[in-house]
Amino acid sequence: MARQQERDLLWLREEFYLSPLPTEKKVIFGHTPTDMITGTWYPFITDQRVGIDTGCVFGGCLSAVELDEGRVTAVYQVGHQASRVG
């Protein structure tokens, strides 16, 4: 982190969530609305990254994910029933 430029810390998006490089642990992130990534207001879920900003401020949903041993097992959204994953 100390070697990162301020611009990258504030504005780096696609290079992060589309990166094929593995991470040491699963990264849960926000501040990038999922409709920018997938075109939907559903969490962005991969093996390495989970985006949970589902655009509540823009008329989307408020979302949370349930993890079990690092795997997303459920997605909760305000106004929607929980949905089990995998």
Output the DSSP codes for 47-77.
SSEEE---BGGGTSB-EEEEEETTEEEEEEE
Strand order in the sheet with 27-29: 27-29, 49-51, 44-45
* 1 assigned to some structural domain: no
Rounded distance, CA 29 to CA 61, Å?
16
Q: What is the pLDDT of residue 43?
A: 97
CB atoms within 10 A of CB 9: 9
Domain residues for 57?
6-84
pTM, rounded to two decimals: 0.79
Could you give the percent of the chain with pLDDT greater than 90? 51
- 3-state percent breakdown (helix, strand, coil) of the chain, nearest 5: 20, 30, 50
Average pLDDT score over residue span 40-55: 94
* 14 assigned to some structural domain: yes
Least confident residue range of 10-19, 21-30, 44-53? 10-19
Q: How many domains does the chain have?
A: 1
CB atoms within 10 A of CB 65: 18
pLDDT exceeds cutoff 70 at 45: yes
